Structure 1
Amino acid sequence: MSREIDYGNLMHDAMRGLIRRVLLDVADNGLPGNHHFFITFDTSHPDAELADWLSDRYPGEMTVVMQHWYDGLEVTDDGFSITLNFGDAPEPLYIPYDAIRTFVDPSVEFGLRFEQQESDESSSVTLPVKADDDVAPEEKDAPAKDAQIVSLDSFRK
């Protein structure tokens, strides 16, 4: 029997583990300095939990900002729950790690992008990410033009 090392999925798991570790630290100690996160996730993921009005408004994906106000951050092995403010309406969310499409901390020009393909799942690492504070949050989840993208597909057979 022939066996190969699946580097793509190993990297995928490692990057989501990095997000988990960052969120665990934030849950314990708060956001340090100017750090803040833009997290884009698949709202149709079967394990994602969000209010009906949010899933109706964002049927494919949604970007949330974790910065000045958030509450109830709980981090598990499979995802995290958090309450965020949407126009003066606090809403609880549960976001599984495998629903995350991008995780960006513009304060330090760090970002991860996980791309989904129809036949196979792969992940890409995007560094650095440039953010412009004058750009609307919906536009910030667009790929950075001057970011270096390393696709893991080139390592797959």
Structure 2
Amino acid sequence: MTDSAPDSLIPYDEIVQEALRAVVGRVIGEVEKDGLPGEHHFYITFKTRAPGVEIPDHLIAKFPDEMTIVIQNRYWDLRVNGDRFEVGLSFNQISSMLHIPFAAITSFVDPAVDFALQFHVEEVEDDMDGHEPAENDADADSSASEIEIVDDGSNVVTVDFGKKK
């Protein structure tokens, strides 16, 4: 008897990832209609060079692999369009429209309720080491906690919501 599970002919991982991305789409769609309720806000990390991502060149230059945006205080024109969403954010007083396919998202976090999802995204280019969160202007008014997502290779995400330093 072996310890390893047999290879599945059913792509369970892909099916689960697709279903969880639909959760993100539904949540953002509800925020599109009704706005952010209560203390809810989102940290959305995505691959900047994934197929279908449309962001300004200055953001790709600063975040060539991955960036994290905050949907909280200052955003506009939030729209869900099928398999993607778009949102207006300001980065260093420069207004920008971002178009992000759900397939490009690597993590979605709502710190108000300790909810987090992490996704696998196929690499498009050479993997860059790490990334720093984008500081869109929503961060300026935010009392958001610092987030640390620990990826230990499993499908479980550990999120540490510590006090901002």
Report if TM-score (shorter chain) is over 0.5.
Answer: yes
Deviations 1:63-96 (A, max 9, x none): 0000001100110111101001112221100000
Select which of 75, 81, 87 maps to 1:76.
Answer: 81
Distance 2:17 2:23 in 1: 10
Percent identical pairs in the alignment equals: 38
The corresponding residue for 1:106 is 111
Select which of 24, 33, 42 maps to 2:38.
Answer: 33
Distance 2:67 2:22 in 1: 21
5+ unaligned residues in a row in structure 1: which ranges?
119-131, 152-157
5+ unaligned residues in a row in structure 2: which ranges?
1-7, 124-142, 157-165
Select which of 51, 54, 64 maps to 2:56.
Answer: 51
Aligned length: 129
Q: Would you identify which runs of 4 or more consecutive aligned residues in structure 1 move more than 4 Å?
A: none
Distance 2:149 2:100 in 1: 21
The corresponding residue for 2:10 is 5
Q: Give 1:48 deviation, angstroms.
A: 0.3
2:155 maps to a residue whose letter is: V
The corresponding residue for 2:68 is 63
The corresponding residue for 1:91 is 96
**Structure 1 residues 36 and 134: alpha-carbon distance in aligned structure 2, compared to 1, 3 A threshold:** closer
Distance 2:110 2:81 in 1: 21
Q: Give 1:107 deviation, angstroms.
A: 0.4
- Secondary structure of the structure 1 residue equivalent to 2:155: strand
State the TM-score, normalized to the length of structure 1.
Answer: 0.75
The corresponding residue for 1:15 is 20
Distance 1:37 1:66 in 2: 5
Distance 1:134 1:6 in 2: 36
Q: Which structure's residues are more often helix, by fraction? A: 1
Q: Do 2:54 and 2:99's aligned partners in 1 also have CA atoms closer than 8 Å?
A: yes
Q: Do 2:84 and 2:102's aligned partners in 1 also have CA atoms closer than 8 Å?
A: yes
